[in-house]
Amino acid sequence: MPSPRRSRTRKEAEAQGYRSGFELRVAEQLIADGVEFEYEPKDGRMSYNIDETRVYLPDFRLANGIIVECKGRLTAADRKKLKLVKAQHPDKDIRLVFMYDNKISPSSKTRYSAWADKAGFKWALKGVPKEWL
């Protein structure tokens, strides 16, 4: 069962149109920094192919064109999707913001940051760095 704080944060985020408390915190940071952005831009959808065509909808698109994907958890399915989208849309600048630099699985020594480096993604922890703005 999720902790009461986590549930309240998710509910607060959903009430403001975000899918997670982490996305809400990143949006609040961008707003505080005076950054123009779009949340889940409808014209920002990118199709990608696995065995069939699917659609990736990024979390944020900054005014400078940088796409920011916020990840609390980076599952195997997320890793696969992100690598496919990056390969199939090399013209897009997709960057990752992790809530924590966890291991990709309990038995792995690889952390989210190491995976992102290897996969060719710029990444940050906790929020969007000033140099991305």
pLDDT given for residue 42 in this prediction: 86
pLDDT given for residue 3 in this prediction: 47
Residue 26 contacts residue 62 (beta carbons within 8 Å): no
Q: Which CATH number fits domain 36-132: 3.30.450.20, 3.60.10.10, 3.40.50.300, 3.40.91.30?
A: 3.40.91.30
Residue 70 contacts residue 60 (beta carbons within 8 Å): yes
pLDDT given for residue 76 in this prediction: 96
CB within 8 Å of 66: residues ≥ 6 apart: 93, 95, 132
pLDDT given for residue 69 in this prediction: 97
Please list the pLDDT of the chain residue by residue as tens digits (133 residues): 344 455 558 888 999 999 999 999 999 999 999 999 999 998 888 888 887 888 999 999 999 999 999 999 999 999 999 999 999 999 999 999 999 999 999 999 999 999 999 999 999 999 999 999 9
Predicted TM-score of the model (pTM): 0.85
